[in-house]
């Protein structure tokens, strides 16, 4: 299926990026020349105690967060911790999983491990678009969605067939809340058929279910 091929492509891209840490490492080292940094970690997760490095990491984290917001990528939804009953219900149907913020967050975490989080991000962006009524806001959000998830130049492009792409291109002449309805349905179906079964067998779901079951027994 399209989802599996896309996942393999993402894995290869990630593998290629990981094969050249020396370049990023050298760049980081050059940027910190004279700062007495005590490590050359190039990622944002360095737990180094060096104040200089820690301050740079914090600044990088703030900048990354700002850039993500500017790109229109939503953060994980706020939601109360799921109950055992809710988590059990996720196994009954994909619709029940997608109805709750906690379910979407857990599923999105799983999609991230498969390099296909853009499917959930696109679906969420479409849901947000449907809530808008201001014409200029709708046009702007539709443009951002197109650039982020439909354009073949975007690293977050979702897998859509040619028919749906043609519909979107026509709809973009006069964007509305429903410009991406066909595409949203296709991605929803893709997540349902391709990713949902694997999520139900994943460590993310099983660990959450086990944890809540143990707490229920202790109570």
**pLDDT above 70 coverage of the chain, percent:** 65
pLDDT digits (tens, 9 = 90+) for 19-71: 544 444 444 444 444 444 443 333 444 444 444 444 444 444 444 333 433 34
Smallest CA-to-CA distance from 159 within 122, 128, 187 is with 187
Find the mean pLDDT for residues 138-154: 97
pLDDT at 82: 94
HSE on the CB side for 151, CA within 13 Å?
A: 10
pLDDT at 202: 98
Please name the helix (run of DSSP H) or strand (run of DSSP E) that holds residue 30, with its range, or none. Answer: helix 21-31
Q: How far apart are CA 213 and CA 55, in angstroms?
A: 41
SS3 at position 70: helix
Instruction: For 3, list phi and psi in degrees, rounded to 5.
Output: -65, -40
pLDDT digits (tens, 9 = 90+) for 58-95: 444 444 333 433 344 445 778 789 999 999 999 999 99
How far from chain centre, in Å, is Cα 186? 17
Q: How far apart are CA 132 and CA 127, in angstroms?
A: 9
Please say whether the beta carbons of 1 and 193 come within 8 A.
yes
- What does the DSSP assignment read for 168-205? HHHHTTS--TTTTHHHHHHHHHHIIIIIHHHHHTSHHH
Q: How far apart are CA 190 and CA 118, in angstroms?
A: 12
pLDDT digits (tens, 9 = 90+) for 184-205: 999 999 999 999 999 999 999 9
Q: Break the chain into its structural domains and give their ranges.
A: 84-218
Find the mean pLDDT for residues 16-20: 52
- Per the model's pLDDT, the better-predicted residue between 13 and 17 turns out to be 13
Instruction: For 34, list phi and psi in degrees, rounded to 5.
Output: 90, 0
Residue 198, number of CB atoms within 10 A of its CB: 16
Using 50, 70 and 90 to split pLDDT, how confident is the model at 12?
low
With a cut of 80, say whether residue 96 has pLDDT above it: yes
Q: How far apart are CA 146 and CA 150, in angstroms?
A: 5
Q: How far apart are CA 125 and CA 147, in angstroms?
A: 12
Per the confidence metrics, is the pTM higher than 0.85?
no
Q: Assign domain 84-218 to a CATH class.
A: mainly alpha
Instruction: For 71, list phi and psi in degrees, rounded to 5.
Output: -80, -5
């Amino acid at each position: 299926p399209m989802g599996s091929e896309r996942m393999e492509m993402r894995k290869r891209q990630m593998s290629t990026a990981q094969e050249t840490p020396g370049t990023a490492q050298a760049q980081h080292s050059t940027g910190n020349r004279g700062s007495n940094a005590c490590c050359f970690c190039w990622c944002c997760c360095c737990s180094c105690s060096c104040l200089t490095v820690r301050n740079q990491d914090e600044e990088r984290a703030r900048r990354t967060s700002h850039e993500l917001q500017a790109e229109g990528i939503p953060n994980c939804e706020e939601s109360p911790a799921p109950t055992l009953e809710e988590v059990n219900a996720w196994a009954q149907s994909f619709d029940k999983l997608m109805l709750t913020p906690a379910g979407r967050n857990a599923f999105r975490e799983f999609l991230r491990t498969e390099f296909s989080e853009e499917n959930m991000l696109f679906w969420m962006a479409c849901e947000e678009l449907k809530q808008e009524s201001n014409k200029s806001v709708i046009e702007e959000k539709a443009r951002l969605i197109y650039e982020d998830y439909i354009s073949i130049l975007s690293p977050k492009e979702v897998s859509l067939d040619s028919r749906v792409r043609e519909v979107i291109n026509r709809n973009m002449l006069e964007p509305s809340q429903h410009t991406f309805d066909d595409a949203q349905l296709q991605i929803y179906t893709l997540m349902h058929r391709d990713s949902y079964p694997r999520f139900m067998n994943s460590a993310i779901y099983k660990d959450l279910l086990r944890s809540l079951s143990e707490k229920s027994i202790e109570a």
